[in-house]
Structure 1
Amino acid sequence: MLNKHWGLLALAAALLSGCAGLAPKPKPAPPIRINEDPYPSTYARYPGALTVIRNATVFDGEGGRINGGTVILADGLIQAIGGPELAAPAGAVEIDGTGKFVTPGVIDIHSHLGDYPSPGVESLSDGNEATSPARPEVWAEHSVWPQDPGFGRALANGGVTTLQVLPGSANLFGGRSVVLKNVPARTEQGMKFPGAPYGLKMACGENPKRVYGSKGGMPQTRMGNIAYTRGVWLKAQAYKRKWDKYEKNGGDMPERDLAMDTLRGVLAGKILVHNHCYRADEMAIMIDMAHEFGYKISAFHHAVEAYKIADLLKKEGICAAMWADWYGFKMESYDGIQENIPFVHNAGACAIVHSDDANGIQRLNQEASKALADGRRAGINISEEVAWTWLSSNPAKSIGIFDKTGSLKPGKMGDVVLWNADPFSVYARPERVWIDGALMYNANDPKRRPVSDFELGQPGEGDTK
C-alpha cells in the first residue's frame, strides 16, 4: 500500500513538472534608453525685424553670385534672394547695399573660444584634459565660458555667426566638440546650435607623442599612437555590440562607460570625427583605420600636406580644414605650402578655411583671400563667390548643419553679413551681422556692438557713449 502511494506521488510530481515546462518563460526587462542629450540646447533666437538688403553684390555661399542683388530676411529665415526686381514686403526695413557685399555668416570649424578664452591665464585654460591619451568622455561644452570677449570680437571683426569649439589636441581622443551660435548668452547651452551633431576630436602626430612620450606606459612613437588608438576602437566595438544587443532584446542593462558612449556614437554615425593631422602619410593611415573599424572621418584639421593626397580626400569625401600659410613651426608642418587650399579645391575635394586661433577667427575672410591669391599665382583661377564656399557651405557640411545654414537659400537660418567692401579685401569689415534674422552687430550703432559681462567695467571696454 505504501508503495502504491509513493507511485501516485511520483506520478503527480511528474505531471506538475511537465506543466511547469509548458509555462511561458518570463520576458526580459525592456531596455532602458540612454539619454543622448543630457545637456540640451536652450538657444532662443533674438527678435528680428523684416529686413530687405538691396543693390548689393551677393555671394550665396554655394558658388553663386548676384550683382545688384536683393536679400529678404523674415521670421528668422532667408525668405528670398534675387535681383533688383524682387519686391519688398510691406513694412520691411530697407538697407541700401550699393557698393557693399552680402554673404552667409562665416562658420569656423576649428575654434577654442570659451575653452581658451581671453584673458589667457591658467585659471581659464580648460581645453586639454591631458591626463590620458584617450579621453573621449570629456565634452568641450563643459569648459566653455560664455563671457569670453573673443566671441564678440569674432562677430564684429570677422562676421562669424557659427563656430565649432573643440578640445585641444594633446590626446589621441580629445573629447566631444560642440557647435555654437555666436550670440550672447548666460550659459553655454544658450549658445548651443539646436540639432547640430556632436563631433569627436582625435589627433595624430607630434602633439600626443610629445605630451605622453615621457610618461611611463604611454605611447612614445607614432606606431605606438596607432596601436593605442586601435586598441581603444576594439573596446568600443565590443561595447557597441553589447549595448546594441541589450537595446534590441532587453534583459540586464550593461554597465555604462562615458568614454565608450562617445565612441559608440561615432560607430553609429551620430558623432562626427574631426581629426587633427598634419602629414599626408598619417592622414592616409587614419583613413585606413576608419575603414578598419567602420567609422567616417568628417574632416582633417590643419592638414598642411592635404595637397599631397587631395585625390584621396575627394574619393573618401573628407574635408580638409586649413590655414592659408601657416607652416614650419614644428617638423610635421614643415611641408606646408601656400597653395594648399586652392590645390585641394582644384582637385575637387572639400576645402575649408579655419582659424584655431582667437585672433585668426577675426580675419578668416582675409585668410581665404590669401589662399585665393596664391592659387591664382599658380594658375588656378577660382572666383570669389566660389572661394566663399571655404567659409560657409563647406564647413556647414562638415559639421552637419548645412540643411540649416551655410548658404543664402530660402528657408535657411538668416545668418547674414553685410560687408562695407569686397570681403576679400584687407580693408573690408562687417557693417552689419544678422543671426537668425536678428541684427546682432551694427558698426554704425554703438548699442549693437557686442560686449560681454566680463568686459563691463573694464578700462576702455563696454563704453558705448
Structure 2
Amino acid sequence: MKFRTLLALCAGGSLLAGCAASSSETNSASTAATPPSNSKDATAFPSTYEAYPSTPTAITGVTIFDGEGRRIDNGTVFMADGKISAVGGPETAIPAGTTVIDGIGKYVTPGIIDVHSHLGDYPTPSVDAHSDGNEATSPVTPEVWAEHSVWPQDPGFSRAMANGGITALQILPGSANLFGGRSATLKNVPARTVQAMKFPGAPYGMKMACGENPKRVYGNRNRMPSTRMGSLAVNRQTWIDAQEYRSKRNDAKPPKRDLGKETLAAVLDGDILVHNHCYRADEMAQIIDMSKEFGYKVTAFHHAIESYKIADILAKEGICSAVWADWWGFKMEAYDAIPENAALLQNAGACVIIHSDDENQIQRLNQEAAKALADGRAMGIEISDAQAIQWITYNPAKAMGIETMTGSLRPGKMADLVLWNGNPLSVYSRPDKVWIDGALLFDSSDAKRRPVSDFELGQPGEGDVK
C-alpha cells in the first residue's frame, strides 16, 4: 500500500472523522494569507492546507513550558476550534463537554519546529533517485523552489512527529550553491500533495550558502567560485543584476519575466527571508556587510559553528543562529566549534535555534537542546529549562516568519503542541501525544494514531506487525 501513513490516519470516521475538515471546521488560520503585494509569483503554487478536525480538549495538572521562556507548574492548557483558548493554572475554566486529559507528571510544550530540514527533498530511503535537494548545475539558482522536490510520502515526516514532536518544519534546498533557491515551510501533517502541507500564510525563505561547499563544488569544475573571494564576487554581481531587474519591474515596459530575479527582488522587497548556510565568523561578518550594501536582511545563519565569536554583532543585528549542539570537525571550517556555542549566544542576548539538517536528529531536537543547555551550565551560564525550549519552538518560528501563528502557547495561536511523558529535556522522555491545529495526530497509547509508512522496519505494535 503506497499511502499507508495517510490511510492509517484517514481510515474511516472512527479515527479523525474524515481526512480533512469541512470548510466550517477548518480553523480561520488555515487558509492561505494574502501574498505580499510585490511578490507577483506568490500565488503560483498556493497552500491548499486544511486542518484535520479537532475537539475541545484540556490538559490539566501538567508542567507547561510556553515557548517564550515561561514555566507553569500544575498548569492547564485548553484548546478549541483549532486554537489555544487558555493557558494558566489549576483555576483555568474548562467548559462542559471538553475532553480532559490528566497531565500529572507530564509536560506540555509548543510543537517542536525545525528551521533546517531536508525531509522530502532528500527523503528516505536515501538512494540516488531521491536526491532532489541540490540543483548543482550553476552556483546561482534562485529560480528553483524546494517544494517542487518534496515527496509527501517520506517516512521521515511521521518519524519526526512520533519521536520528536515536530509539528512544523522548513524544507531547504542544499548548500552546493551560493543561491540555492526557495524554501518551503510545512505543517507536519499527512497529505497527498506538498501544497496540502504548506503552512498557510508563511513567507517564503531563500537558501544561500558561503564557505567550503560552493567553492568546492564549482572549483572542482574549473569555474567560479573556486575561492571565497570568488564567492563574494558572484554574490555581489547577482545582487546588482537583481537590483536592476527590481528597478525596471514597474516600468511601462517591464523586463521579461525571470523566475530567479523574481525571487531576488522579493528578498530585496523584504517579502522573502534569507537563510544563509555559513560556518566561520569572519564570513558571517562579510555576508552582513554585503546584505547592507544591497539592502536586504539575513534572517538566520545556519550551522553557524563560530557564532560565539561574534555573538554581540549577531545580537545587535537581530540575526538568529541555527546551530547544532556539538557537531564539529567533519570539514575544515567546522573545526573551531565549541559545545558552549548556543549558551554563549543566549548569554549575549542573541537569538538561538537548535536545528537538525538530518533525518535522524530531527527526531531528537529536545535532546540536542538539553545537551547545549548542559554545556552552558557547566561553564557557569544559567539558562532555565523554559528558555532552552524556546530554542526549538518560538525562535525557529520567528526565523521562519510564523511566530504570530505558532511557536508558543498563547491564546489565539494554532493549537500545535506536544504532551511529553516526562521533562522534554530528559533523554528518557518521548512524545505521549501530538496535536496540530487541535487535532490529535499522534497518540503513543493508540495504535491507530501511531502513523507508519511503507518503509518502517516493522516493530511490534506498529502498522500491521502483531
- TM-score norm. by structure 1 comes to 0.90
Unaligned runs of 5+ in 1: 1-31
Identity %: 66
Give the C-alpha shift of residue 458 in structure 1: 7.7
Q: Indicate the residue corresponding to 2:346 in structure 1.
A: 345
Q: Indicate the residue corresponding to 2:435 in structure 1.
A: 434
Residue deviations 1:108-142, cap 9 Å, x none?
00000000000000111100000000000000000
**Out of 107, 132, 136, which is 1:126 matched to?**
132
* Structure 2 Cα separation of the partners of residues 65 and 456 of structure 1: 36
Matched, 1:448 2:449: yes
Stretches of 4+ aligned residues off by more than 3 angstroms: 32-35, 454-461
- TM-score norm. by structure 2 comes to 0.90
1:298 partner SS: strand
Provide the alpha-carbon RMSD of the alignment.
1.6
The 5-angstrom pairing of residues 389-404 of structure 1 reads 389-404=390-405
* Structure 1 Cα separation of the partners of residues 201 and 139 of structure 2: 29
Give the C-alpha shift of residue 217 in structure 1: 3.1
- The aligned amino acid for 2:241 is K
The 5-angstrom pairing of residues 136-285 of structure 1 reads 136-243=142-249, 245-246=250-251, 251-285=252-286
1:55 partner SS: strand
- The aligned amino acid for 1:239 is Y
Give the C-alpha shift of residue 459 in structure 1: 9.4
* Structure 2 Cα separation of the partners of residues 134 and 345 of structure 1: 34
2:175 partner SS: coil
* Structure 2 Cα separation of the partners of residues 33 and 267 of structure 1: 11
* Structure 2 Cα separation of the partners of residues 434 and 114 of structure 1: 21
* Structure 1 Cα separation of the partners of residues 39 and 364 of structure 2: 44
* Structure 1 Cα separation of the partners of residues 276 and 303 of structure 2: 9
2:183 partner SS: strand
1:79 partner SS: strand
* Structure 1 Cα separation of the partners of residues 379 and 293 of structure 2: 37
Q: How many residues align?
A: 429
- In 1, are the aligned partners of 2:458 and 2:465 still within 8 Å (CA)? no
Give the C-alpha shift of residue 33 in structure 1: 8.8
- In 2, are the aligned partners of 1:108 and 1:163 still within 8 Å (CA)? yes
Matched, 1:373 2:379: no
* Structure 2 Cα separation of the partners of residues 88 and 458 of structure 1: 40
- In 2, are the aligned partners of 1:105 and 1:161 still within 8 Å (CA)? yes
Q: 1:449 to 1:99 in 2, by over 3 A?
A: same
* Structure 2 Cα separation of the partners of residues 115 and 314 of structure 1: 32
Give the C-alpha shift of residue 462 in structure 1: 2.8
Unaligned runs of 5+ in 2: 1-37
- The aligned amino acid for 1:369 is A
2:257 partner SS: coil
- The aligned amino acid for 2:441 is M
2:440 partner SS: strand
* Structure 1 Cα separation of the partners of residues 417 and 442 of structure 2: 11
* Structure 1 Cα separation of the partners of residues 254 and 263 of structure 2: 18
- In 1, are the aligned partners of 2:343 and 2:372 still within 8 Å (CA)? yes
- The aligned amino acid for 1:58 is I
Give the C-alpha shift of residue 34 in structure 1: 3.2
2:284 partner SS: helix
Residue deviations 1:175-231, cap 9 Å, x none?
000100000000000100001000000000000011000223321100001101101
Give the C-alpha shift of residue 464 in structure 1: 6.4
- The aligned amino acid for 2:451 is P
